[in-house]
Amino acid sequence: MKKRTDLTVSRSGPLRGRVSVPGDKSISHRAVLFNAIAEGKAMIRGFSSAQDCRSSLMAMRALGVEVDELEPDVLVVSGLGLKGLVEPDDVIDVGNSGTTIRMLPGILAGQKFYSVLTGDASIRRRPMARIIEPLRQMGCRIWGRARDSLAPISIQGGRLNGISYSTPIPSAQVKSAILLAGLYADGETIVMESTVSRDHTERMLIAMGAEMEVSTRTVSVAGGRKLGALDMVVPGDISSAAYLIVASLLIEGSEIEVSGVGVNPTRTGILDVLNAMGGRVEVSNRTVSGGEERGDLGVRAAGLKAVTIEGEIIPRLIDEIPIAAVAATQAEGETAIRGAAELRVKESDRIAALARELLKMGASLEELEDGLIVKGPVKLRGAEVDSHGDHRIAMSLAVAALIAEGETTIKHAECIDISYPGFIEDLKNLALHQQARG
């Protein structure tokens, strides 16, 4: 068990300089999982240092995959092919990684052995029926705790059949689990969504040779097609960059550049929202690797105005809504966030956690069943707040503390390492850079 760490944050002066954020978590997970079932060796550069991504790495090692770590962020994955994995000799523990426990069953469903997946207390509370139901329709023998709704999950892999499935809630993790199982299934597997979710899986599988068709809200994959190993450079994680971006927008005199960030259109909802609020975020130096676009993000402090965040943009910034709410506390007017009920079943109930802790800091907001109403601008004050063991809540509160009067202590801040181990160090360096210039 990781030792508890409380973090004290004070009001900051301007942030200045250039910074790189860890590799994209979503892409890092997929790079390891997909190359593990491909033919050949793949070199992955920019692999995320987040604990969640290491959970995927360790899971594939437990399944017999050789992964060489040449550097902390450079891996060589030796693929075993679609059906080359071996039965693990113990339960696979995914830690806090929702991506691992929801996507890996899609691969295990097509194997010829038995496996069990579990995770920490947070993972064991998260809904799993959303993957168990479609995989069972495909012929997989899969079970979960609490009437097949929670982890641990046990899977007896075997022969699968393609299905046509409409996801009740747009989710890239659920979509990916079904598509991965579709690689092993007889015939075609089709997934339909009411709103487009992030498409990293489709992009990477197509680059690896999968037979897929992608339209606006429908994706199909043909079973039986081998995958080829894919060398790639993982772009910086836009979810991690979002905290630095919002901090720079809110702290007067700030001007930073975040280099090499992924700007996949299914992930840039936060940039669209912040620019609609009057923020100054510009993308330059665009390049492509492994089917994923990246660019440098230039950010300057700016006054913000309230907006409404709802509808089809929600899946494109679901992970960034907590930090968007912090930005809203400093925006002129009333910002409404609706249609984000999925936040209640993340690492914490993010709607309730964020409302509770920001209110302690003097925010003016109202908790909705599926979102928040935030009024601004308000002067935040330092307080003792709690991360609720959720990395995104912890980092959002840290940004709020940078603009608050006095000191803020964030309890259980060790969870930040789940996605962004160098977060505090990067903030300090940006602040120190300004001091050096002064």
The answer to whether residues 60 and 33 touch, using CB atoms and an 8 Å cutoff, is yes
Contacts for 152 with CB less than 8 Å, ≥ 6 apart: 91, 116, 117, 118, 124, 144, 145
Alpha helices in 138-215 (DSSP H): 145-148, 172-182, 200-207
Q: Is-cis flag, bond preceding 168, omega within 30?
A: no
Q: Which two tokens stand for residue 366?
A: 């109202």
Q: Is 319 assigned a catalytic role? A: yes
CA atoms of 180 and 18, how far apart (whole Å) = 38
Tokens 């009740």 identify what position?
168
DSSP 8-state secondary structure symbol assigned to residue 124 = G
Reduce the DSSP state of residue 369 to 3 states and report it: coil
Per-position DSSP letters for 215-268, written without gaps between them: -SSEEEEETTPPPBP--EEPPBPHHHHHHHHHHHHHSTT-EEEEEEEE--TTTT
CA atoms of 372 and 325, how far apart (whole Å) = 8
Q: What are phi and psi of 294, to 5 degrees?
A: -135, 160
Single-letter residue type at 312: E
Annotated catalytic residue within 52, 93, 319, 386? 319
The answer to whether residues 134 and 174 touch, using CB atoms and an 8 Å cutoff, is yes
Strands across the sheet with 141-144, in order? 92-93, 114-118, 150-156, 141-144
The answer to whether residues 240 and 320 touch, using CB atoms and an 8 Å cutoff, is no
Which residues carry out catalysis?
319
